[in-house]
Structure formats: C-alpha cells, structure tokens
C-alpha cells in the first residue's frame, strides 16, 4: 500500500546532518513506492503561536503566514517524520515553533498515524536525545491513534558533513523503505 510520507526538516542548514538523515529516509520511502514530500521549516518561516485558540473554533489560524499552506499537507499525510538537530538537549526552536503551529489540527480528523523522529547531536551520549523524544511524544499524545514508530538518533556529529559514512544514514534509508 502506498503511503503519503511528509518529512519536516527543521535544521537551518539544508546540508546539515539531520537533513542528510531526512534525505536518506525520503529516498528509502520513495524507493519503496511511497509518495514522499520533504518540507524545510526554514522555507516556511512560521511565526510563533499566540495561544489565542482561534484555530479551535475556526477553519484556520489567525496568523497569516505560510503555515496555512502546510496544515492540509500534515493533516493528510499517513506518516510524519520530524527531523531536528539537538539544541540544548531538545528539538530545535524551529521545530518547536512548527509543532506549536499545528494546533489547528487538534480539533480536526487527521489521517496521520505513524510518526518518526530523526535527530542529530554533537553529544555522543544517547541520553542527549531524551528531551527530543519527550517533546515529540508530548505532541503525539495530543492525537488519538498516533504513535512513535521509530527513532533514528545520531550523536557525535557537529559540522555539516560529519555524518558522511555514518551507519545511521543506512538506518534512515531502511526505516524509510520499511514504513509499509
């Protein structure tokens, strides 16, 4: 069965390490015959959520920015993949802003059910990813029937290209190829 896979990359560096993992996941998912779209939060430039809850009683958010064009794509995806570099032991601010702006989906019927997280970090200790997992699980918890299906976590990478040759690239490819 063909899945609609939406990958959200939140690094400001399109040639960065988390973006490289996201690219391999996308390649694997596409090679398996899935419909794949990769979105860069940097291109969307979402504004901060105002917490006004306007979106809970109206069709759209009160903020007029590029998120309006993204909401339906998130809502109608089968699989969501959040890719982030680790900043101060959590998701990037870009990803946190993006997740907050998905608040209009809270009251909608969404198609997505599977979520993957991809993260890279300068720290080599696996516990450095605990905050990332907690942030993503907290978002997932707000949606019935949605679960964290997989994690691709790569430590000890800092500068763009540090991930080249890393076994985690193959792991990301295989995760994408095996989402069905």
Residue-wise pLDDT tens digits, 88-136: 999 999 999 999 999 999 999 999 999 999 999 999 999 999 999 999 9
**pLDDT band of 150, cuts 50, 70, 90:** very high
**Mean pLDDT in the chain?**
96
> CATH number for the domain including 10?
3.40.50.360
**pLDDT band of 14, cuts 50, 70, 90:** confident
Distance (Å, rounded) from C-alpha 120 to C-alpha 97?
Answer: 18
Query: What pTM was estimated for this model as a whole?
Result: 0.96
Residue 24: closest CA among 180, 173, 166, 156? 173
Distance (Å, rounded) from C-alpha 23 to C-alpha 160?
Answer: 14
pLDDT above 80 for 28 = yes
Contact present, 97 and 46 (Cβ < 8 Å): yes
For 131, the domain range is 4-177
* DSSP letters for 54-83: GGGTSSS-SS-STHHHHHHHHHT-SEEEEE
Domain total of the chain: 1
């Amino acid at each position: 069965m063909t899945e609609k896979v939406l990958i959200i990359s939140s690094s400001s560096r399109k040639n960065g390490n988390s973006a490289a993992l996201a690219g391999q996941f996308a390649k694997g998912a596409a090679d398996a015959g899935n419909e794949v779209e990769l979105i860069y939060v940097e291109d969307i430039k979402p504004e901060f959520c105002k917490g006004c809850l306007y979106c809970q009683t109206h069709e759209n958010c009160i903020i007029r920015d590029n998120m309006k064009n993204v909401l339906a794509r998130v809502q109608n995806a089968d699989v969501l993949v959040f890719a982030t570099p680790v900043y101060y032991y959590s998701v990037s601010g870009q990803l946190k802003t993006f997740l907050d702006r998905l608040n209009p989906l809270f009251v909608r019927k969404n198609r997505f059910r599977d979520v993957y997280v991809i993260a890279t970090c300068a720290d080599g200790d696996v516990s450095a990813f605990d905050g990332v997992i907690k942030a993503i699980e907290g978002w997932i918890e707000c949606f019935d029937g949605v679960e964290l299906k997989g994690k691709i976590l790569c430590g000890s990478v800092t500068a763009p290209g540090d991930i080249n040759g890393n076994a985690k690239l193959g792991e990301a490819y295989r995760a994408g190829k095996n989402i069905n």
